[in-house]
Amino acid sequence: MRGFAALVTMLFTISAYASAAPGAPGIKPTWSDAKKVQIGSSFHDFKKAAQSYVWFSLSSGVLTETYFPTIDKAQIKDSQILILTKDKKLIEERKEMIHETKVLSPSLVKLINKTRDGKFEIHHTLYTADKKNMVVDSVEIIAKEEGAEFYLLTNSALKNSGLNDNAEIFNGGFKFFEDDYKLLVKSSVGFETSSVGFVGISDGYQMLKKAKRITSYSKAINGNVAGVGKLRLSSKAGNYKFYITYEFGNKQFSLSNSVSNSSILLDQQKEIYEKNWRQYFESLKQPKLDDDKFLFYRSMYVLKTHEDKLNPGAMIASLSVPWGEEMIHQEGMEYGGYHLIWPRDLFHVSLAALYSGDQGLALRALKFLKSIQYKSGVWSYGDRVIPKFGAFPQNVWTNKEEYWGGLQLDQVAYPVHLFWHLYENSPNEERKNLLTEFEGMLKDALDFIVRYGPWSGQERWEENFGISPSSFSAAASALLLGEKIFGEGKYKNIAHQWLHTPNDNIHRWTFTTNGVYGDGNYYLRVGGCSGYIDSWLPNENQNCYVANSGRIVDQKEMLDQGFLKLTLFGLVSPLDWRIQTSFHKIKEHIRVYTPKGPGHYRYSYDAYGENGQGRLWPLLNGEQGRYFIEQALVSSGEERERLFRGAVEMKETFKSFKNVGSLIPEQVFEDSGQGTGGATPLAWSHAEYIKLMWSLEMKKNIANPTNN
């Protein structure tokens, strides 16, 4: 009889999971929103072999994009818990619950989600396992009403896309796979019943919403797929604690059972996670002001977490896809979002880390930059043809493949700046080795600037060609550093020509005296932007194409604060009347006072943001704060103190603009000071806070190479 019973059980199981889900390939996949309240990965000491190659992000109360085995390769869109109440009401954790975020430490966050009637709470604390490619979610459900059922719903996005994924019921959980990539999702309490299907058609959410039960499909092949499982929990009211694990594998890193789902071992993983990060914070240079310590640690956590582990020094801009919920995946296209490496962002992040005591991070970044420097290729801008040799890509994947291909002169210059800061902050015995290793890279970059500067195919906002005070400043300062490094006068001579040649210098190229703002005297955002070989005549009417809106505006109508780089890199006195009057125009026309403090637009007519409207960028306050410090250093008495107070005010805005997870956004709204759907966190935003904090403590603008 026992054999007969076993046979019946086996046949029932086969019938329950015998069918393939209908509705392939499902609806068009998108990413999750970019308003992250936490990002995470195990701390990695690059002097040792990495033990974990997985990253995660949290938004809207749930797990969102999760990356493996490199920081630019997303594998999950989102995963959440669904509640089916006793009266068959379906509650979606991500959309229908009230979300709270409790920051437990600089490296750990708890999500607290509550139903609007107060009958249910779901708590999540997520971290990565040590020596394992696994994300662990420590879950607590508080049910104040009996009769509810709880389900886990996971939507994969293997290989950076929700297209062409496969799913099956496997080993008590869900297994997602595409080519050699695998994702295994399990629960420590197991699943009473489970199913896989195609999103929007036959996934568990659709079943529960329509039929209030799930039909168990065993596999879903080639599409936008999801898995759902009814968690094996009591239907009585009470508190329930358990774990959900997300384990990743491919041909290089196999799935294994080295980490048990037992609560003791998984709790130990959290302790290891926290301990390793705490030791890193303790190894850093410590701020003098206690008020700065938490956001400093949190910011360094963000910067360090954004570095890839298989490709040292490859630090992405953000573990997010701005407005990701609107980004529809396309066949044959791998959308990069902000999980790409920009040399510009890499410089700012590395500089912040260097002055915080993490010299290793800055050195790895410089090595990575050296490895992506162009050796061949050509840019063709109409009649302006520019060989790429010596320049750097606009941005790249962690494997060093180019993503976008524009010429940005400041990104050619910043590796020179980074070398100089490393060189100046290294002991004498290491300087010779640095020079030996990077001499070729530096000279190739400097020679490129000499040959083709100060014109740039794109300015720092990646939209307009011409001559930009911001790009110019980075390039001219790099040339002056080239003279310091190599003692070769040719670099200094070119920089001086650009700065000082009568009637033919940066001021004559970009400073208008008949503009449309105030008395008409100010620096343009970019000049010569109506044609690739146009002359740089700031008093003439020249049309500029605003790339993110398609709008055409006159060059004199576009204000930005890029001219501050002339002072921030030590090229022009902060008291120069042209700098002063231009700054007055910035305060008058692109500064907005929000409930959380002053903020600034990137430039006039910016359309990069919700509803075609550019918003305020907190990182710009970091530049203004350091500009106040530059002014203070050449002032005295009460004026000096007033300027330092202004710098402190700008530093405090970063604390105001951070979100509930203490992450600093790319952009904030004017009416609230809250983050937009742009990237949160933006590593550059956290770097600007750190740079301003240290500049105030050291009483100098640390990014100015002439201050070393």
The pLDDT tens digits for 82-105 are 999 999 999 999 999 999 999 999
Q: Check residue 220 and give its pLDDT.
A: 98
pLDDT at residue 10 tops 50: no
3-state secondary structure at position 399: coil
104 burial level (CB within 10 Å; 0-12, 13-18, 19+)? exposed
- Residue type for position 24: A
What residues have CB less than 8 Å from 614, skipping those under 6 apart?
Answer: 548, 601, 602, 603, 605, 606, 607, 608, 667
Q: Give the integer Cα–Cα distance in Å for 561 and 600.
A: 9
Q: Give the integer Cα–Cα distance in Å for 105 and 384.
A: 53
Q: Check residue 239 and give its pLDDT.
A: 97
Strands 384-387, 62-67: pairing is unpaired
429-443 average pLDDT score: 97
Say how far residue 561 (Cα) sits from the centre of its chain: 22
Tens digit of pLDDT for each residue in 458-492? 999 999 999 999 999 999 999 999 999 999 899 99
45-52 average pLDDT score: 90
In this prediction, residue 258 has a pLDDT band, given cuts at 50, 70 and 90, of very low
394-422 average pLDDT score: 98
- The least confident of 156-165, 253-262, 360-369 is 253-262
Tens digit of pLDDT for each residue in 542-581? 999 988 888 999 999 999 999 999 999 999 999 999 999 9
What residues have CB less than 8 Å from 363, skipping those under 6 apart?
Answer: 313, 422
The percentage of the chain sitting over the pLDDT mark of 90, rounded to a whole number, equals 91
Q: Residue for token digits 């162009």?
A: 374
Q: Give the integer Cα–Cα distance in Å for 85 and 147.
A: 6
- State the pTM of this model: 0.96
**Helical H runs in 252-408?**
263-283, 290-305, 343-355, 359-372
For the record, the structure tokens of 416 come out as 């020179």
Q: Give the integer Cα–Cα distance in Å for 228 and 637.
A: 67
The phi, psi pair for 126, rounded to 5°, reads -110, 145
Q: Check residue 17 and give its pLDDT.
A: 45
pLDDT at residue 292 tops 80: yes
Q: What structural domains does the chain harbor? A: 33-253+265-277 (2.70.98.10), 340-707 (1.50.10.10)
Q: Residue for token digits 């529809």?
A: 328
For the record, the structure tokens of 672 come out as 């609230």
Tens digit of pLDDT for each residue in 626-684? 999 999 999 999 999 999 999 999 999 999 999 999 999 999 999 999 999 999 999 99
In this prediction, residue 4 has a pLDDT band, given cuts at 50, 70 and 90, of very low
For the record, the structure tokens of 566 come out as 């002339």
Q: Check residue 546 and give its pLDDT.
A: 87
| H or E element at residue 640 | helix 637-657
pLDDT at residue 607 tops 90: yes
pLDDT at residue 502 tops 60: yes
Q: Check residue 547 and give its pLDDT.
A: 84
- The least confident of 6-10, 229-233, 319-323, 394-398 is 6-10
Going by C-alpha positions, the residue among 79, 68, 16, 20 that lies closest to residue 40 is 68
What is the signed CA dihedral for 386, 389, 395, 400, rounded to 10 degrees?
A: 150
For the record, the structure tokens of 31 come out as 């990413």
In this prediction, residue 386 has a pLDDT band, given cuts at 50, 70 and 90, of very high
pLDDT at residue 259 tops 60: no
3-state secondary structure at position 105: strand
Give the side-chain half-sphere CA count within 13 A for 539.
6
Q: Check residue 260 and give its pLDDT.
A: 52
In DSSP terms, which residues pair with 190 in a beta bridge? none
Q: Give the integer Cα–Cα distance in Å for 462 and 617.
A: 15
Provide the mean pLDDT of the chain: 95
Query: Contact 23/207 with Cβ under 8 angstroms?
Result: no
- How many other C-beta atoms are found inside a 10 Å radius of the C-beta of residue 428? 6
pLDDT at residue 328 tops 60: yes
104-115 average pLDDT score: 98
507-515 average pLDDT score: 98
In this prediction, residue 333 has a pLDDT band, given cuts at 50, 70 and 90, of confident
Going by C-alpha positions, the residue among 25, 367, 336 that lies closest to residue 178 is 25
The percentage of the chain sitting over the pLDDT mark of 70, rounded to a whole number, equals 96
Per the rule left: phi > 0, alpha: psi between -120 and 50, beta: everything else, 460 is: alpha
pLDDT at residue 539 tops 50: yes
480-509 average pLDDT score: 96
For the record, the structure tokens of 700 come out as 């100098």
Rounded to the nearest 5 percent, the helix, strand and coil shares of the chain are: 35, 25, 40
pLDDT at residue 77 tops 60: yes
pLDDT at residue 201 tops 60: yes
pLDDT at residue 211 tops 60: yes
What single DSSP character describes residue 454? T
pLDDT at residue 2 tops 60: no
Query: Contact 418/363 with Cβ under 8 angstroms?
Result: no
In this prediction, residue 261 has a pLDDT band, given cuts at 50, 70 and 90, of low
In DSSP terms, which residues pair with 110 in a beta bridge? 102, 125
